Protein backbone atom coordinates (compact mmCIF):
# COMPACT_ATOMS: atom_id res chain seq x y z
CA UNK A 1 0.00 0.00 0.00
CA UNK A 2 1.47 3.37 -0.99
CA UNK A 3 1.24 6.66 0.89
CA UNK A 4 -1.81 7.80 -1.02
CA UNK A 5 -3.99 4.71 -0.46
CA UNK A 6 -6.70 5.03 2.15
CA UNK A 7 -8.88 2.48 3.84
CA UNK A 8 -12.32 3.03 5.37
CA UNK A 9 -13.12 4.08 8.94
CA UNK A 10 -12.91 6.76 11.46
CA UNK A 11 -10.85 8.65 13.99
CA UNK A 12 -12.53 8.16 17.37
CA UNK A 13 -14.61 5.46 19.01
CA UNK A 14 -17.42 7.97 19.41
CA UNK A 15 -17.97 8.20 15.65
CA UNK A 16 -18.09 4.47 14.91
CA UNK A 17 -21.84 4.32 15.39
CA UNK A 18 -22.26 7.24 13.01
CA UNK A 19 -20.12 5.47 10.44
CA UNK A 20 -22.16 2.27 10.68
CA UNK A 21 -25.36 4.30 10.27
CA UNK A 22 -23.83 5.99 7.23
CA UNK A 23 -22.94 2.62 5.67
CA UNK A 24 -26.46 1.30 6.18
CA UNK A 25 -28.03 4.50 4.87
CA UNK A 26 -25.79 4.44 1.79
CA UNK A 27 -27.21 1.07 0.82
CA UNK A 28 -30.80 2.28 1.23
CA UNK A 29 -30.40 5.45 -0.81
CA UNK A 30 -31.43 5.60 -4.45
CA UNK A 31 -28.86 5.35 -7.24
CA UNK A 32 -29.02 9.09 -8.03
CA UNK A 33 -28.69 10.23 -4.42
CA UNK A 34 -24.88 9.98 -4.02
CA UNK A 35 -24.41 12.31 -6.98
CA UNK A 36 -26.94 14.84 -5.75
CA UNK A 37 -25.67 14.74 -2.17
CA UNK A 38 -21.97 15.00 -3.04
CA UNK A 39 -20.03 18.08 -2.04
CA UNK A 40 -17.27 17.38 -4.56
CA UNK A 41 -17.78 15.45 -7.81
CA UNK A 42 -15.22 14.07 -10.28
CA UNK A 43 -16.51 13.24 -13.77
CA UNK A 44 -14.44 11.19 -16.20
CA UNK A 45 -15.17 11.29 -19.94
CA UNK A 46 -13.87 8.62 -22.31
CA UNK A 47 -12.43 9.13 -25.78
CA UNK A 48 -15.24 7.13 -27.37
CA UNK A 49 -17.68 9.84 -26.21
CA UNK A 50 -15.61 12.89 -27.05
CA UNK A 51 -14.37 11.87 -30.50
CA UNK A 52 -16.48 10.83 -33.50
CA UNK A 53 -15.08 7.44 -34.57
CA UNK A 54 -15.82 8.10 -38.24
CA UNK A 55 -14.22 11.54 -38.57
CA UNK A 56 -11.82 11.70 -35.63
CA UNK A 57 -13.27 15.11 -34.77
CA UNK A 58 -14.58 16.42 -31.46
CA UNK A 59 -18.22 15.61 -30.74
CA UNK A 60 -18.95 19.23 -29.91
CA UNK A 61 -22.75 19.01 -29.78
CA UNK A 62 -22.57 16.26 -27.15
CA UNK A 63 -19.84 18.06 -25.20
CA UNK A 64 -22.06 21.14 -24.87
CA UNK A 65 -24.71 19.07 -23.10
CA UNK A 66 -22.13 17.59 -20.72
CA UNK A 67 -20.87 21.06 -19.84
CA UNK A 68 -24.45 22.19 -19.25
CA UNK A 69 -24.79 19.30 -16.76
CA UNK A 70 -21.55 20.25 -14.97
CA UNK A 71 -22.66 23.87 -14.70
CA UNK A 72 -25.93 22.65 -13.20
CA UNK A 73 -23.96 20.90 -10.45
CA UNK A 74 -21.93 24.05 -9.81
CA UNK A 75 -25.08 26.17 -9.52
CA UNK A 76 -26.21 23.80 -6.75
CA UNK A 77 -23.01 24.62 -4.88
CA UNK A 78 -21.15 21.43 -5.80
CA UNK A 79 -17.47 21.48 -6.73
CA UNK A 80 -16.66 19.77 -10.04
CA UNK A 81 -13.47 18.28 -11.48
CA UNK A 82 -13.42 16.89 -15.03
CA UNK A 83 -11.01 14.13 -16.08
CA UNK A 84 -10.96 14.06 -19.85
CA UNK A 85 -9.57 11.58 -22.35
CA UNK A 86 -9.44 12.43 -26.04
CA UNK A 87 -6.06 14.06 -26.73
CA UNK A 88 -4.56 11.09 -28.58
CA UNK A 89 -7.77 10.40 -30.49
CA UNK A 90 -8.04 14.04 -31.58
CA UNK A 91 -4.40 14.44 -32.53
CA UNK A 92 -3.72 11.27 -34.49
CA UNK A 93 -5.74 12.25 -37.57
CA UNK A 94 -3.50 15.27 -38.18
CA UNK A 95 -0.24 13.33 -38.13
CA UNK A 96 1.11 12.11 -41.47
CA UNK A 97 1.80 8.40 -41.68
CA UNK A 98 -0.09 7.34 -38.54
CA UNK A 99 -2.02 4.15 -39.18
CA UNK A 100 -5.59 3.48 -38.07
CA UNK A 101 -4.59 0.68 -35.70
CA UNK A 102 -2.82 0.64 -32.36
CA UNK A 103 -0.12 3.29 -31.95
CA UNK A 104 3.42 2.83 -30.69
CA UNK A 105 4.26 4.75 -27.50
CA UNK A 106 6.11 7.53 -29.32
CA UNK A 107 3.24 7.87 -31.80
CA UNK A 108 0.72 8.15 -28.96
CA UNK A 109 2.87 10.83 -27.34
CA UNK A 110 3.08 12.77 -30.61
CA UNK A 111 -0.68 12.49 -31.13
CA UNK A 112 -1.28 13.64 -27.53
CA UNK A 113 0.92 16.70 -28.07
CA UNK A 114 -1.19 17.71 -31.06
CA UNK A 115 -4.58 16.75 -29.64
CA UNK A 116 -4.10 18.28 -26.20
CA UNK A 117 -4.05 21.77 -27.71
CA UNK A 118 -7.32 21.12 -29.54
CA UNK A 119 -8.95 19.60 -26.47
CA UNK A 120 -7.90 22.42 -24.14
CA UNK A 121 -9.08 25.04 -26.63
CA UNK A 122 -12.50 23.39 -26.89
CA UNK A 123 -12.99 23.36 -23.13
CA UNK A 124 -11.77 26.94 -22.82
CA UNK A 125 -14.10 28.15 -25.56
CA UNK A 126 -17.21 26.39 -24.24
CA UNK A 127 -16.69 27.17 -20.55
CA UNK A 128 -15.52 30.76 -20.84
CA UNK A 129 -18.54 31.48 -23.03
CA UNK A 130 -20.64 30.98 -19.89
CA UNK A 131 -18.27 32.79 -17.55
CA UNK A 132 -16.43 29.80 -16.06
CA UNK A 133 -12.64 29.79 -15.78
CA UNK A 134 -11.14 26.50 -16.92
CA UNK A 135 -7.75 25.21 -15.74
CA UNK A 136 -5.76 22.44 -17.41
CA UNK A 137 -3.71 19.98 -15.32
CA UNK A 138 -1.62 17.18 -16.82
CA UNK A 139 -0.70 14.38 -14.42
CA UNK A 140 1.46 11.27 -14.56
CA UNK A 141 1.52 8.17 -12.39
CA UNK A 142 4.50 9.64 -10.50
CA UNK A 143 2.34 12.58 -9.44
CA UNK A 144 0.14 10.24 -7.41
CA UNK A 145 2.86 7.88 -6.20
CA UNK A 146 5.62 10.29 -5.11
CA UNK A 147 4.46 12.05 -1.97
CA UNK A 148 5.87 15.59 -2.58
CA UNK A 149 4.34 15.69 -6.07
CA UNK A 150 1.08 14.24 -4.76
CA UNK A 151 0.84 16.96 -2.11
CA UNK A 152 1.65 19.70 -4.61
CA UNK A 153 -0.97 18.41 -7.06
CA UNK A 154 -3.57 18.21 -4.29
CA UNK A 155 -2.78 21.72 -3.10
CA UNK A 156 -3.11 23.06 -6.65
CA UNK A 157 -6.49 21.38 -7.14
CA UNK A 158 -7.74 22.65 -3.78
CA UNK A 159 -6.69 26.19 -4.70
CA UNK A 160 -8.40 26.02 -8.10
CA UNK A 161 -11.64 24.81 -6.57
CA UNK A 162 -11.49 27.47 -3.86
CA UNK A 163 -10.99 30.11 -6.57
CA UNK A 164 -14.05 28.88 -8.52
CA UNK A 165 -12.13 27.44 -11.49
CA UNK A 166 -13.12 24.16 -13.13
CA UNK A 167 -10.08 21.86 -13.38
CA UNK A 168 -9.80 19.67 -16.49
CA UNK A 169 -7.31 16.84 -16.00
CA UNK A 170 -5.69 14.42 -18.39
CA UNK A 171 -2.71 12.09 -18.23
CA UNK A 172 0.48 13.76 -19.43
CA UNK A 173 0.96 11.31 -22.28
CA UNK A 174 3.66 13.38 -23.98
CA UNK A 175 6.24 12.73 -21.23
CA UNK A 176 5.09 9.56 -19.45
CA UNK A 177 7.01 6.40 -20.31
CA UNK A 178 5.35 3.03 -20.71
CA UNK A 179 6.35 2.13 -17.16
CA UNK A 180 5.05 5.39 -15.69
CA UNK A 181 1.66 5.63 -17.38
CA UNK A 182 -1.76 4.93 -15.97
CA UNK A 183 -2.66 3.66 -19.42
CA UNK A 184 -6.28 4.62 -18.89
CA UNK A 185 -8.08 7.58 -17.40
CA UNK A 186 -10.40 5.47 -15.24
CA UNK A 187 -7.67 4.87 -12.67
CA UNK A 188 -6.38 8.41 -13.11
CA UNK A 189 -9.86 9.70 -12.25
CA UNK A 190 -9.97 7.47 -9.18
CA UNK A 191 -6.60 8.80 -8.01
CA UNK A 192 -7.86 12.35 -8.51
CA UNK A 193 -10.99 11.53 -6.48
CA UNK A 194 -8.77 10.04 -3.78
CA UNK A 195 -6.37 12.98 -3.88
CA UNK A 196 -9.14 15.56 -3.49
CA UNK A 197 -11.35 13.60 -1.04
CA UNK A 198 -14.21 13.67 -3.55
CA UNK A 199 -17.57 12.27 -2.51
CA UNK A 200 -18.58 10.95 -5.93
CA UNK A 201 -16.81 9.80 -9.09
CA UNK A 202 -18.77 9.28 -12.32
CA UNK A 203 -17.17 7.26 -15.12
CA UNK A 204 -18.96 8.11 -18.36
CA UNK A 205 -18.23 5.48 -20.95
CA UNK A 206 -19.68 3.49 -23.84
CA UNK A 207 -21.26 0.99 -21.43
CA UNK A 208 -24.12 1.61 -19.00
CA UNK A 209 -22.72 -0.33 -16.07
CA UNK A 210 -21.30 -3.62 -14.85
CA UNK A 211 -23.01 -6.77 -16.14
CA UNK A 212 -22.87 -10.35 -14.94
CA UNK A 213 -21.43 -11.21 -18.39
CA UNK A 214 -20.53 -9.41 -21.62
CA UNK A 215 -23.94 -8.13 -22.86
CA UNK A 216 -22.62 -8.04 -26.45
CA UNK A 217 -22.14 -11.81 -26.34
CA UNK A 218 -24.65 -12.92 -23.71
CA UNK A 219 -28.20 -11.60 -24.18
CA UNK A 220 -29.12 -12.99 -20.75
CA UNK A 221 -26.51 -10.78 -19.01
CA UNK A 222 -27.93 -8.74 -16.14
CA UNK A 223 -26.98 -5.23 -15.03
CA UNK A 224 -25.66 -4.96 -11.47
CA UNK A 225 -27.17 -1.85 -9.88
CA UNK A 226 -25.09 -1.70 -6.69
CA UNK A 227 -21.84 -3.23 -5.54
CA UNK A 228 -21.18 -3.05 -1.81
CA UNK A 229 -17.99 -5.09 -1.84
CA UNK A 230 -15.50 -5.80 -4.62
CA UNK A 231 -15.10 -9.57 -4.48
CA UNK A 232 -13.20 -11.93 -6.82
CA UNK A 233 -16.60 -12.62 -8.41
CA UNK A 234 -17.00 -8.94 -9.24
CA UNK A 235 -13.44 -8.66 -10.57
CA UNK A 236 -14.01 -11.67 -12.82
CA UNK A 237 -16.78 -9.76 -14.59
CA UNK A 238 -14.27 -7.26 -16.04
CA UNK A 239 -13.44 -7.53 -19.73
CA UNK A 240 -11.34 -5.90 -22.41
CA UNK A 241 -12.16 -2.58 -24.09
CA UNK A 242 -14.01 -2.89 -27.38
CA UNK A 243 -13.77 0.82 -28.18
CA UNK A 244 -11.84 2.09 -31.17
CA UNK A 245 -10.25 4.94 -29.23
CA UNK A 246 -10.51 4.00 -25.55
CA UNK A 247 -7.88 2.10 -23.58
CA UNK A 248 -9.98 1.31 -20.51
CA UNK A 249 -12.25 -1.73 -20.34
CA UNK A 250 -14.46 -2.87 -17.48
CA UNK A 251 -11.45 -4.33 -15.66
CA UNK A 252 -9.92 -0.85 -15.36
CA UNK A 253 -13.22 0.53 -14.11
CA UNK A 254 -13.37 -2.08 -11.36
CA UNK A 255 -9.75 -1.24 -10.46
CA UNK A 256 -10.79 2.42 -10.31
CA UNK A 257 -13.76 1.51 -8.13
CA UNK A 258 -11.49 -0.22 -5.62
CA UNK A 259 -9.36 2.92 -5.32
CA UNK A 260 -12.42 5.15 -5.00
CA UNK A 261 -14.39 3.19 -2.42
CA UNK A 262 -11.27 2.71 -0.27
CA UNK A 263 -11.11 6.50 -0.23
CA UNK A 264 -14.75 6.80 0.87
CA UNK A 265 -15.94 7.88 -2.58
CA UNK A 266 -19.04 6.61 -4.38
CA UNK A 267 -18.32 5.51 -7.95
CA UNK A 268 -20.83 5.31 -10.80
CA UNK A 269 -20.33 3.58 -14.16
CA UNK A 270 -22.82 4.90 -16.70
CA UNK A 271 -23.28 5.33 -20.42
CA UNK A 272 -22.35 8.77 -21.65
CA UNK A 273 -23.68 8.38 -25.19
CA UNK A 274 -27.05 10.12 -24.68
CA UNK A 275 -27.00 13.88 -24.34
CA UNK A 276 -27.03 15.33 -20.81
CA UNK A 277 -25.56 12.15 -19.30
CA UNK A 278 -25.21 13.51 -15.75
CA UNK A 279 -28.80 14.69 -15.66
CA UNK A 280 -29.91 11.26 -16.86
CA UNK A 281 -28.08 9.55 -13.98
CA UNK A 282 -29.86 11.79 -11.50
CA UNK A 283 -33.11 10.91 -13.23
CA UNK A 284 -32.62 7.19 -12.63
CA UNK A 285 -30.86 6.02 -15.81
CA UNK A 286 -29.37 2.53 -15.82
CA UNK A 287 -25.96 2.48 -14.17
CA UNK A 288 -23.86 0.72 -11.55
CA UNK A 289 -22.99 2.28 -8.19
CA UNK A 290 -20.04 1.10 -6.10
CA UNK A 291 -20.83 2.01 -2.49
CA UNK A 292 -18.11 2.91 0.06
CA UNK A 293 -18.39 2.06 3.74
CA UNK A 294 -17.19 5.43 5.04
CA UNK A 295 -17.10 9.10 4.10
CA UNK A 296 -13.99 10.55 2.38
CA UNK A 297 -12.98 12.44 5.52
CA UNK A 298 -13.39 9.38 7.75
CA UNK A 299 -11.41 7.27 5.27
CA UNK A 300 -8.65 9.86 5.16
CA UNK A 301 -8.43 10.07 8.93
CA UNK A 302 -8.26 6.30 9.27
CA UNK A 303 -5.45 6.28 6.71
CA UNK A 304 -3.56 8.87 8.74
CA UNK A 305 -4.07 7.10 12.08
CA UNK A 306 -3.62 3.49 11.12
CA UNK A 307 -1.50 3.38 7.98
CA UNK A 308 1.13 6.13 8.07
CA UNK A 309 4.13 5.80 10.39
CA UNK A 310 5.02 9.05 12.21
CA UNK A 311 8.46 10.44 11.32
CA UNK A 312 8.61 13.00 14.14
CA UNK A 313 6.59 14.69 16.85
CA UNK A 314 5.24 18.02 18.05
CA UNK A 315 4.83 18.83 21.75
CA UNK A 316 1.81 21.02 22.57
CA UNK A 317 0.54 22.92 25.59
CA UNK A 318 -2.69 22.35 27.53
CA UNK A 319 -4.56 25.08 25.67
CA UNK A 320 -3.75 23.53 22.30
CA UNK A 321 -4.89 20.12 23.55
CA UNK A 322 -8.25 21.55 24.58
CA UNK A 323 -8.58 23.20 21.17
CA UNK A 324 -7.81 19.95 19.33
CA UNK A 325 -10.37 17.99 21.34
CA UNK A 326 -12.99 20.60 20.51
CA UNK A 327 -12.41 20.09 16.78
CA UNK A 328 -9.91 22.87 16.05
CA UNK A 329 -6.72 22.80 13.98
CA UNK A 330 -3.25 22.86 15.57
CA UNK A 331 -1.76 26.35 15.32
CA UNK A 332 1.93 27.21 15.77
CA UNK A 333 1.10 29.18 18.92
CA UNK A 334 0.15 26.01 20.77
CA UNK A 335 3.31 24.06 19.87
CA UNK A 336 6.10 24.09 22.45
CA UNK A 337 8.79 21.90 20.82
CA UNK A 338 9.60 19.66 17.86
CA UNK A 339 11.12 16.19 17.98
CA UNK A 340 12.91 14.36 15.14
CA UNK A 341 13.36 15.18 11.47
CA UNK A 342 10.38 15.55 9.15
CA UNK A 343 9.32 17.33 5.99
CA UNK A 344 6.15 19.13 5.01
CA UNK A 345 3.53 16.47 4.28
CA UNK A 346 4.97 13.91 6.69
CA UNK A 347 2.93 12.32 9.45
CA UNK A 348 3.88 13.35 12.99
CA UNK A 349 2.71 12.45 16.48
CA UNK A 350 1.24 15.19 18.64
CA UNK A 351 2.38 14.85 22.26
CA UNK A 352 0.91 16.41 25.39
CA UNK A 353 3.04 18.00 28.12
CA UNK A 354 3.51 14.60 29.78
CA UNK A 355 4.67 12.96 26.53
CA UNK A 356 1.49 10.99 25.77
CA UNK A 357 0.45 10.75 22.11
CA UNK A 358 -2.85 12.63 21.91
CA UNK A 359 -3.15 13.02 18.15
CA UNK A 360 -1.54 12.18 14.85
CA UNK A 361 -1.56 14.29 11.71
CA UNK A 362 0.08 15.55 8.55
CA UNK A 363 2.27 18.58 9.19
CA UNK A 364 2.30 21.57 6.89
CA UNK A 365 5.90 22.45 7.83
CA UNK A 366 9.27 20.72 8.03
CA UNK A 367 10.97 20.35 11.40
CA UNK A 368 13.36 23.25 10.62
CA UNK A 369 10.55 25.62 9.62
CA UNK A 370 8.34 24.44 12.50
CA UNK A 371 11.12 25.20 15.01
CA UNK A 372 11.16 28.82 13.82
CA UNK A 373 7.42 29.44 14.18
CA UNK A 374 6.44 27.44 17.29
CA UNK A 375 4.84 29.59 19.93
CA UNK A 376 4.19 32.37 17.43
CA UNK A 377 0.97 33.71 15.91
CA UNK A 378 -0.03 32.61 12.41
CA UNK A 379 0.14 36.21 11.21
CA UNK A 380 3.88 36.17 11.89
CA UNK A 381 4.69 33.14 9.73
CA UNK A 382 5.52 35.04 6.53
CA UNK A 383 7.90 37.40 8.30
CA UNK A 384 9.62 34.52 10.11
CA UNK A 385 10.00 32.15 7.15
CA UNK A 386 10.10 34.50 4.18
CA UNK A 387 7.12 32.89 2.48
CA UNK A 388 3.40 32.70 3.07
CA UNK A 389 2.59 29.24 4.40
CA UNK A 390 -0.53 27.74 5.92
CA UNK A 391 -1.94 29.26 9.09
CA UNK A 392 -2.15 25.83 10.72
CA UNK A 393 0.69 23.57 11.71
CA UNK A 394 -1.76 20.68 11.19
CA UNK A 395 -5.20 21.30 9.68
CA UNK A 396 -8.09 19.59 11.46
CA UNK A 397 -8.90 17.58 8.30
CA UNK A 398 -5.37 16.15 8.48
CA UNK A 399 -5.56 15.42 12.20
CA UNK A 400 -6.78 12.39 14.15
CA UNK A 401 -7.46 12.64 17.88
CA UNK A 402 -6.32 9.66 19.97
CA UNK A 403 -7.75 8.87 23.37
CA UNK A 404 -5.95 7.38 26.41
CA UNK A 405 -5.06 3.75 25.84
CA UNK A 406 -6.15 3.76 22.19
CA UNK A 407 -3.87 2.09 19.66
CA UNK A 408 -4.13 3.73 16.21
CA UNK A 409 -4.27 0.24 14.70
CA UNK A 410 -7.65 -0.21 16.39
CA UNK A 411 -9.02 2.06 13.68
CA UNK A 412 -8.23 -0.57 11.05
CA UNK A 413 -11.60 -2.31 11.08
CA UNK A 414 -12.33 -4.72 8.27
CA UNK A 415 -14.28 -3.67 5.20
CA UNK A 416 -16.22 -6.91 5.49
CA UNK A 417 -17.72 -5.87 8.84
CA UNK A 418 -18.85 -2.54 7.42
CA UNK A 419 -20.25 -4.04 4.25
CA UNK A 420 -22.28 -6.59 6.16
CA UNK A 421 -23.99 -3.78 8.04
CA UNK A 422 -25.20 -2.34 4.77
CA UNK A 423 -26.65 -5.42 3.14
CA UNK A 424 -26.25 -9.20 3.28
CA UNK A 425 -25.56 -9.45 -0.43
CA UNK A 426 -22.62 -7.70 -2.06
CA UNK A 427 -24.52 -6.84 -5.23
CA UNK A 428 -27.99 -6.07 -6.49
CA UNK A 429 -28.93 -7.31 -9.96
CA UNK A 430 -31.37 -5.67 -12.35
CA UNK A 431 -32.81 -7.83 -15.13
Cβ–Cβ under 8 Å, residues 338 and 370: yes
Which of 324, 410, 298 lies closest to 21 in space, CA to CA?
298
Angle between helices 250-262 and 185-195 (to 10 degrees): 10
Percentage of the chain exceeding pLDDT 70: 79
pLDDT of residue 280: 94
Range scoring the smallest mean pLDDT among 9-13, 62-66, 181-185:
9-13
Q: Is 239 exposed, middle or buried (0-12, 13-18, 19+ CB in 10 A)?
A: middle
pTM, two decimals, is 0.75
**Looking at the DSSP assignment, which residues form a beta bridge with residue 211?**
223
Q: What is the mean pLDDT of residues 336-352?
A: 94
What are the Cα distances from residue 398, in Å, to 18, 22, 304, 308, 315?
Answer: 20, 21, 8, 12, 17
Within a 13 Å sphere around the CA of 147, how many CA atoms are in the beta-carbon half?
A: 11
Rounded to a whole number of angstroms, the distance between the first and last alpha carbons of the chain is 37
Tell me: domain 13-295, CATH 3.40.50.150, correct?
Answer: no
- Phi and psi angles of residue 62, each rounded to the nearest 5 degrees, phi first: -65, -40
How many angstroms separate the CA atoms of 372 and 305, rounded? Answer: 27
Within a 13 Å sphere around the CA of 240, how many CA atoms are in the beta-carbon half?
A: 3
Cβ–Cβ under 8 Å, residues 303 and 147: no
Residues of the chain with CATH 3.40.1160.10: 13-295
**β-bridge pairing 166-171 and 134-139:** parallel
pLDDT of residue 165: 97
What is the total residue count of the chain?
A: 431
Question: What is the CATH T-level fold of the domain 308-411, as seen in this structure?
Answer: 2.30.130
Q: What is the mean pLDDT of residues 300-315?
A: 81
DSSP state of 168: E
Mean of all residue pLDDT scores within the chain? 81
Amino acid sequence: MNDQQRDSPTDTPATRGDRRAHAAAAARRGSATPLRAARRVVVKVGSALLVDPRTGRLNRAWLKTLIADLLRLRRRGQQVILVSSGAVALGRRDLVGVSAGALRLEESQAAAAVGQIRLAHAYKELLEAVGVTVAQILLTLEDSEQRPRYLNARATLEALLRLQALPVINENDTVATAELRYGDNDRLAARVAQMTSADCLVLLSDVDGLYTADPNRRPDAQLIERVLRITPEIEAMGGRSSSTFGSGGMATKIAAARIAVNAGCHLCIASGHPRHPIRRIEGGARCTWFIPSATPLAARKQWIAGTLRPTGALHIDAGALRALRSGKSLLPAGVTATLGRFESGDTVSVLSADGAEVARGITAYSDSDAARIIGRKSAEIEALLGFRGRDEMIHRDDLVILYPGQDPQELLESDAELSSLAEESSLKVQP
